[in-house]
A and B are shown apart, each in its own frame.
Chain A
Amino acid sequence: MKYAAHAPHAHARASIGRLMLWVMIALTPATLYAFWLYGWPAIFLWAVTVLSAAGAEFFVLRLMQRDAARGLADGTAVLTGWLLALTLPPWAPWWVGVIGSVFAIVVVKQVFGGTGQNLFNPAMAARVMLLISFPVELTTWVGPSPLFGAGALSFVEGARVTFLGQMPLGFDALTSATTLGHVKTELTRGIDVPAALASHGQGLGASLIGLHAGSLGETAAVLLLAGGVLLIALRVIRWHIPVAMLAGVLLPAMLMHAHDPARYLDAGTHLLAGGLILGAFFIASDPATSPGTARGQLLFGFGCGLLVWVIRTWGGYPEAVAFAVLLMNAFTPVIDRYLRPRIYGHPARFARRTRP
């Protein structure tokens, strides 16, 4: 028997694939700029990571006898690979990307039930796994050496770096700590923050346009910010998580920096030197792993931000976006349970009668 169709007989013409496509479009300028900064190895690593994420998704869906083409078409797997690639050191070997992607898709996403069912952000869980398992590869950063410029690697040299692990001559001169990592190291040596920043030699201006060592997604703060604002304007994401997360980092940073500039980094460095902007606009705002209500999103975002600042300031790792997002992901179900909006016509939350 054919059932009657239920209303509504109209639709906003939105789809998951379209949402993901917009996120990718918003990421494109920053990604292209980072490709230019870090050259062929970055491009190879990105391609390997994205392709292996898509491949892993396809393989797992086929294994579960689902419609693999349809599952891939929603773009979530490609986006996961893309975001993971943006958080890796640009000159990391190819297998780092492959292991990360496969872990993200198979263990973090599909084991939990696939698209929308995962509790943790796949890209961030994979990054943390890689960081713990391969600390050397994940903390070897190089300074920018723009494509087609003097000293840039050729296509073949780039392929050697990514696929064979053969570093070019003078590689040691290229390696450099990230700003946050440098400051953390110097602080443990008893050198205060202003001196550490001065010795690193990269001012805020350089950070603004990404001229410092770091992952692909830590460069070009301006382009990432523009992409994030585009997503909010298009209502692909809501403003609550990014704004709350930035506030969560910047408020304590400003307070404590004013309190003791020698020990606490300023808000500007917090904002521009690490992956905060990428994290706030593209990672923490992942719908599947963040709360569904406005108030929940504010709490979630602020929690992410606060954790980022706490771990950056007192933790063992210089960068903290991945840890902070994962920790708050674990709270998402609880937040969604207890921060439900007040239903129309019901008394305020704490006066509400519990229903059987």
Chain B
Amino acid sequence: MLNRDWLTRLRLRWGVHPLGRKEQGNREGILTLPLPSRLHVPMLQHTGQPAKPRVTVGQRVRKGEMIAARQGNISAPVHAPTSGTVIAIGDYPAPHPSGLPVLTVSIDCDGLEEWVDLDPPSDPFALAPEALAAKVAEAGIVGLGGATFPSAVKMALGLRTQVRTLLVNGSECEPYLSCDDRLMRERAAAIVDGMNLIRHAVGAETILCGIEDNKPEALAAMREAAAPFPHIALRRLPTRYPMGSDRQLIQVLTGREVPSDGRSADVGVLVHNVATCYAVHEALRYGRPLISRIVTVAGGAVRAPRNVEALIGTPARYLVEQCGGLSGESARLVMGGPMMGLELASLDVPVIKGSSGILALDASELPSATPSPCIRCGQCVTACPMNLMPFEMSARIRTGALDEAVGMGLKDCLTCGACSYVCPAHIPLSHYFNYARGELTRRERNTLRQESIRKLVAERSERLERDAREKAEAAARRKAERERAKAEADAARAAKAAAKAAEESSA
């Protein structure tokens, strides 16, 4: 039989092969960071509505205590990563390229690490799937691969739509990052247990776990841990970016394509990241909410790159300091991987649930050339995992023809950056696409706002009219009343006069 990898390579030509540079951080084991003195826990660490704080300034919280509840359907609660005192609830810089503040609960750590009373189910497999999803929701678990979509919402969706196969994403295709790699090497049994729990919670039959072939140790560890379970299959994937995008992973592992207006559940699969499986294991076996994660600290400007287990809310600066600090000036700070990560203005921002990496890149690692005109070479078309035509779309966006770009598939774009990566003209293609999508959302919001304002104006003019009418009516009524009174008075007077006259005449 032909080698499966070869078939995949022949069938699918998308993607790029960026320099991995994973060896920077994956040589040493995961380092559990010593407790920092202060944590800044943002309320918006997930896709959807921000969580609503339930603590007050000065209140003492214990480790694992819920400090903010979810709001709305798509949201996740936030827990205290350690025990201590809430010292502030207010704006604090978000780990985001805008540098804008976000509502954050700041906690002074007391060093006691005193846990809240944990209440793990004695046998999670005995619980109903719905109950498992509820526990995952309570634990504040979100997709740890970077999308940070609340996991419980995804699981509930899986239950409703009859998922046959659970796909577990261990591809970790972004360069530099090795947090999933180390997690699989060191905690494979826990991940496999988490996989089984999710399988139970979504009612899937089989589990398919894909790991890129640049992580042989992780693959071996996972194979060993999964050996007792016949329903788990491990697949070696060719190393290619963006293999870790769930649509591409589904295509490679199952041969199916998620409809453009659908979800993965529509083709009978659900994708979860290995780190999410680990978090689910922690929550359902030990009752521990998601309060820490593995973060890769790497980049040419970091002295001793490695993976660390950091509490949510730990300042990024603290992580870098614990990895030997920066050697000289770093040219760019990035949260996440280099292909899709977000530039940070400073290291004084907290680690959040979605932070897979903190990179301090030096100038030699960054793209340097300035953009030149497109020569239509089509390399972006070859690289695009969604089969779009990036160079045509960006030309439309540049001239402001956003609707044409939408017609060419702008909304299908993953903004994975493969096109920008290969472009010989150094055109910031994925930047154009993110700009265009932001602009479209903004316009949509504006239109909605205009409509609501139009409604308000209409209501006001109606009210003014009604007021005027009522006023006029009241005036008319008063006038009528006055006239009636006058008429009555006149009549009375007349009657009186008549009576008098009659009296006189009779007299």
Direct A–B contact in the complex, CB atoms closer than 8 angstroms? yes
Residues of chain A having any CB pair with chain B under 8 Å: 4-12, 14-16, 18-19, 70, 74, 76, 114-117, 238, 287-288, 290-294, 297, 336, 340-346, 355-356
By a CB distance below 8 angstroms, the chain B residues around A8 are 18, 338-340, 367, 417, 420-421, 430
Report the count of interface residues on B (CB-CB < 8 A).
67
Besides the known contacts A4-B99, A343-B409, A344-B385, 11 further A-B residue pairs in the complex with CB atoms under 8 A apart: A5-B343, A8-B430, A9-B343, A14-B379, A116-B376, A287-B377, A293-B389, A341-B388, A344-B251, A345-B257, A345-B259
Whether A12 lies near B257 (C-beta < 8 A) is no
Whether A293 lies near B381 (C-beta < 8 A) is yes
Chain B proximity of A323: nearest CB distance (Å): 22
Cα-based distance from A115 to B385 in the complex (angstroms)? 27
By a CB distance below 8 angstroms, the chain A residues around B327 are none
Q: Give the contacting residue for B332; candidates A5, A291, A297, A340; CB below 8 A.
A: A5
By a CB distance below 8 angstroms, the chain A residues around B38 are none
Cα-based distance from A14 to B422 in the complex (angstroms)? 7
By a CB distance below 8 angstroms, the chain A residues around B121 are none
Task: List 11 interface pairs A-B (beta carbons < 8 Å), by A numbering.
Answer: A6-B343, A8-B338, A8-B420, A10-B365, A115-B373, A116-B425, A287-B377, A292-B392, A294-B381, A343-B409, A346-B412
Chain B proximity of A341: nearest CB distance (Å): 4
State the main secondary structure of chain A at its contact with B.
loop
B366: interface (CB < 8 Å): yes
Given A4-B345, A117-B373, decide whether A10 and B387 contact each other with a Cβ distance below 8 A: no
By a CB distance below 8 angstroms, the chain B residues around A344 are 247, 251, 257, 260, 385-387, 412
Whether A9 lies near B381 (C-beta < 8 A) is no
**Chain A residue at minimal CB-CB distance from B365:** A10
Whether B175 lies near A10 (C-beta < 8 A) is yes
Interface string of B397-419 (1 = CB under 8 A from A): 00000010011110010010100
Given A9-B341, A10-B338, A15-B424, decide whether A341 and B332 contact each other with a Cβ distance below 8 A: no
Q: Give the contacting residue for B424; candidates A10, A18, A290; CB below 8 A.
A: A18
By a CB distance below 8 angstroms, the chain B residues around A346 are 259-260, 409, 412
Chain B proximity of A339: nearest CB distance (Å): 10
By a CB distance below 8 angstroms, the chain B residues around A288 are 375-376
Chain B proximity of A115: nearest CB distance (Å): 5
Q: Give the contacting residue for A4; candidates B338, B343, B409; CB below 8 A.
A: B343
**Chain B residue at minimal CB-CB distance from A355:** B407
B97: interface (CB < 8 Å): yes
Residues of chain B having any CB pair with chain A under 8 Å: 16, 18-19, 97-99, 175, 247, 251, 257-260, 262, 332, 334, 336, 338-343, 345, 359, 361, 365-369, 372-379, 381-382, 385-389, 391-392, 403, 406-409, 412, 415, 417, 420-426, 428, 430-431, 434
By a CB distance below 8 angstroms, the chain B residues around A18 are 424
By a CB distance below 8 angstroms, the chain B residues around A74 are 372
By a CB distance below 8 angstroms, the chain A residues around B387 are 341-344
Whether A19 lies near B424 (C-beta < 8 A) is yes
Cα-based distance from A355 to B97 in the complex (angstroms)? 33
Q: Give the contacting residue for B392; candidates A11, A297, A336, A342; CB below 8 A.
A: A336
By a CB distance below 8 angstroms, the chain B residues around A356 are 403, 407
Q: Give the contacting residue for A340; candidates B339, B377, B389; CB below 8 A.
A: B389
By a CB distance below 8 angstroms, the chain B residues around A14 are 379, 422-424
Chain B proximity of A252: nearest CB distance (Å): 27
Whether A16 lies near B260 (C-beta < 8 A) is no
Chain A proximity of B158: nearest CB distance (Å): 19
Cα-based distance from A12 to B434 in the complex (angstroms)? 21
Given A5-B332, A7-B340, decide whether A116 and B412 contact each other with a Cβ distance below 8 A: no
Whether A7 lies near B408 (C-beta < 8 A) is no
Cα-based distance from A355 to B388 in the complex (angstroms)? 15
By a CB distance below 8 angstroms, the chain A residues around B424 are 14-16, 18-19
Chain A proximity of B197: nearest CB distance (Å): 29
Whether B428 lies near A19 (C-beta < 8 A) is no
Whether A115 lies near B375 (C-beta < 8 A) is yes
Chain B proximity of A94: nearest CB distance (Å): 30
By a CB distance below 8 angstroms, the chain A residues around B342 are 4, 7
Whether B258 lies near A287 (C-beta < 8 A) is no
Q: Which 5 A-B pairs have the closest CB atoms?
A: A4-B97, A11-B367, A292-B378, A6-B431, A345-B260
By a CB distance below 8 angstroms, the chain A residues around B338 are 7-10
Chain B proximity of A9: nearest CB distance (Å): 4
Whether A287 lies near B421 (C-beta < 8 A) is no
**Chain A residue at minimal CB-CB distance from B377:** A287
Given A6-B428, A14-B422, A345-B412, decide whether A287 and B260 contact each other with a Cβ distance below 8 A: no
By a CB distance below 8 angstroms, the chain A residues around B406 are 355
**Chain B residue at minimal CB-CB distance from A73:** B372
By a CB distance below 8 angstroms, the chain B residues around A10 are 18-19, 175, 338-339, 365-367, 421
By a CB distance below 8 angstroms, the chain B residues around A4 are 97-99, 342-343, 345
Whether B425 lies near A16 (C-beta < 8 A) is yes
Whether A340 lies near B19 (C-beta < 8 A) is no
Q: Give the contacting residue for A293; candidates B366, B378, B415, B434; CB below 8 A.
A: B378
Chain B proximity of A338: nearest CB distance (Å): 12
Cα-based distance from A227 to B388 in the complex (angstroms)? 31
Chain A proximity of B298: nearest CB distance (Å): 12
Chain B proximity of A15: nearest CB distance (Å): 5
Cα-based distance from A45 to B395 in the complex (angstroms)? 38
Q: Give the contacting residue for B247; candidates A16, A340, A345, A355; CB below 8 A.
A: A345
By a CB distance below 8 angstroms, the chain A residues around B368 are 11
Q: Give the contacting residue for B16; candidates A12, A15, A342, A355; CB below 8 A.
A: A12
Cα-based distance from A297 to B236 in the complex (angstroms)? 33
By a CB distance below 8 angstroms, the chain B residues around A115 are 372-373, 375
Cα-based distance from A238 to B377 in the complex (angstroms)? 9
Whether A12 lies near B18 (C-beta < 8 A) is yes
Cα-based distance from A297 to B247 in the complex (angstroms)? 27
**Chain A residue at minimal CB-CB distance from B259:** A345
Cα-based distance from A310 to B174 in the complex (angstroms)? 50
By a CB distance below 8 angstroms, the chain A residues around B376 are 116, 287-288, 290, 292
Cα-based distance from A246 to B378 in the complex (angstroms)? 21
